[in-house]
Structure 1
Amino acid sequence: MLNLRDVDLNLLVVFLELYRERRVSVVAEQLGLTQPAVSNALARLRKMMNDELFLRSARGMEPTPYAVQLAEPIAEALTRIRDTLERQLEFDPTTSTRKFTVAMTDLGEIHFLPRLMRRLGEVAPGVTISTVRNTAVNLADELEAGRVDLALGLLPQLKGGFFQRLLFRQRYVCLFREGHALDRESMSLDDFEAAQHIVVVAGGTGHAIVDDTIARRNVKRDVRLSVPHFVALGHILSTTDLIATAPERYVREGMKPFKLKYLPHPVPFPEFDVNLFWHAKFHKEPGSQWLRNELAGLAETH
């Protein structure tokens, strides 16, 4: 009995070309092989099938009755394999109904989701997006398993086995309500230390650089409130005298409804990179490539 583990698909390709062309020289040229390589493949086919398969004649290599019987099902099988592999290598956003899962913070949602959903409405009406928090899952494992397609943000923990693409760089600023006592041209370090603060403890992200830098420089903060995310800042700051340290792009886009102001930060924080991450297993996966390009395009235009 023939064992499928012994079947080399390349041999079946040679078989089908020989059946169609009937000449070893022509098959060798079409497949980019030498004539001895084609003859060797035929010898292996004969042994595997226990049949001569092709016999020399004045008209070329004539198929045996068994070869004639095999030709159509082998052609059909190879066509199905090719079509299946080609489907996996295609992604058509105009017809796709795929659901993508993207890990991002509330900052990412505020910055990207409004324009991403508008873009999908234009070019990919059947595609849907689901977001998860970077801290709600084991992000590295979820990306590797494909349960999360992409991760977006300041994520220094994603290193080996991951690709990344820079979306933009940004800095931290000081944020407060319009009419605040600090609503003037600039803010000194003394002003910063004297103010009352709301602190965002964004676990699982690189935003811990804020607390680390402040501690390393021995800067004092009168912290009155700590929250786990940025999304509540607008509501809180607009009705209190608290100030907050936040990324500038988030402040420019997310705080407009709350009539908030911001100034350059008196503490010299380094600029930080906001990157797009994906696992190496999906580097060439067409759907992932498409969404990565869309997100990068949105970052470049804003």
Structure 2
Amino acid sequence: MNFVDVDLNLLRVFDVMMRERSVTRAATELGRTQSAISHSLSKLRFLLQDELFTRHGGEMRPTPRAMELLSDISTALATIRASIDRHQVFNPATTRRNFRVGLTDYHAMTLIPGLIREFSRQAPNATLNVIPANGPEIGSSVYLRQVDCALTGAAIRDDPSLLRVELGQDRLFCAVWSGSKIASSAMTLETYLASSHLQISADGIAEGLADAALKQMGLRRNVVATISNYLVLPWALRGTELITHCGDAILQILDEKSEVTLIPPPLAISNVNAWLIVHRQMANDPGTKWLRDVIVGIYNGSRARDAKGGPSKALERRVFYE
């Protein structure tokens, strides 16, 4: 293979395919036909002497050779894009760009309403996709440009290619059904340990911050079930004596109809960090910077409302404070 034989547009196809993992979606993003994308892939496979992508179900998965090429090709394209963007003004009011945000189930509940409203107001011609960002693998999604940025509380391994900004911290509470015996009084460690627990884990398996705190004390709780999202929390707790944990940001969406009472835990548990993650190569991209500012503004606005007003009147009767 000689460099003069390489059509640089083929590298754009490779870069988009690494994000989309789909010929159909890559064609849509690049404004080309599926057959044109398939033809470009054939050229790339011939030039690079590798299959590059293999089909697994409905997804085109990259080969080890493709993963090896990703960093160099994406870096080169990002450098070219940044050089061009420096001389252009990004205008959210006129852009037709598609943006992708990775959100955990927890952050999605509290941020999506405000995010959609503000995104639609500022960028009426753009489109937004909210992608599940549950678990440490979200770092890979940012690295592979499958999302423009992600907001997560998961522990992300240190990676020099990822920029992490801590937006804030949420305090963990015990959540119980408001009609339970536990909800009628402050919780003791004895009651906590004697009760059955519901664990909310992004992958439906992993332990939580409460388990880590208990291990340091030589104790463990009785987890009888694990679920993967917060959306079903009111229904999962209703009519039970179960205890689970959730951050205080959930106060924004709970009302009396949820029948959920929040109680401070009888042990010290680490707060949940909110990390905004973006690929360093895209940190100065005007569109990405705008999207980050929108998310940061919504997050800070919600925390400011919490600090100023605290729980609503409807919640004051259902939250026990120390």
Residues 175, 207 of structure 1: alpha-carbon distance in 2 compared, 3 angstrom cutoff: same
Tell me the residue number matched to 1:155: 154
Deviation at 1:112, TM superposition (A): 0.8
SS of alignment partner, residue 93 of structure 1: coil
Answer yes or no: is 1:247 the counterpart of 2:247: yes
Contact persistence 1:94–1:126 (CA under 8 A): yes
The number of residues matched between the two structures is: 220
Amino acid paired to 1:151? A
Contact persistence 1:153–1:205 (CA under 8 A): no
Tell me the residue number matched to 2:194: 194
Kindly report the root-mean-square deviation, in angstroms, between the aligned alpha carbons of the 2 structures: 2.7
Aligned-residue identity in percent: 22
Tell me the residue number matched to 2:55: none
Deviation at 1:231, TM superposition (A): 2.0
Tell me the residue number matched to 2:213: 213
1:65-214 equivalences under 5 Å are 85-86=84-85, 89-135=88-134, 138-160=137-159, 161-203=161-203, 208-214=208-214
Tell me the residue number matched to 1:298: 298
Give the whole-Å Cα distance in 2 for the aligned partners of 1:295 and 1:205: 29
Contact persistence 1:135–1:204 (CA under 8 A): no
Contact persistence 1:156–1:205 (CA under 8 A): no
Deviation at 1:158, TM superposition (A): 4.1
Tell me the residue number matched to 1:289: 289
SS of alignment partner, residue 112 of structure 1: helix
Amino acid paired to 2:101? V
Amino acid paired to 1:131? V
TM-score (norm 2): 0.62
Give the whole-Å Cα distance in 1 for the aligned partners of 2:150 and 2:263: 30
Residues 144, 87 of structure 1: alpha-carbon distance in 2 compared, 3 angstrom cutoff: same
SS of alignment partner, residue 300 of structure 1: helix
Amino acid paired to 1:99? N
Q: Which runs of 5+ in 2 are unaligned?
A: 5-79, 303-322
Tell me the residue number matched to 1:227: 227
Amino acid paired to 1:111? T
Contact persistence 2:152–2:276 (CA under 8 A): yes
Give the whole-Å Cα distance in 2 for the aligned partners of 1:205 and 1:276: 24
Residues 246, 219 of structure 1: alpha-carbon distance in 2 compared, 3 angstrom cutoff: farther
SS of alignment partner, residue 239 of structure 1: coil
Residues 155, 242 of structure 1: alpha-carbon distance in 2 compared, 3 angstrom cutoff: closer
Contact persistence 1:155–1:205 (CA under 8 A): no
Moved more, 269-278 or 178-187: 178-187
Give the whole-Å Cα distance in 1 for the aligned partners of 2:95 and 2:112: 19
Q: Which runs of 5+ in 1 are unaligned?
A: 5-80
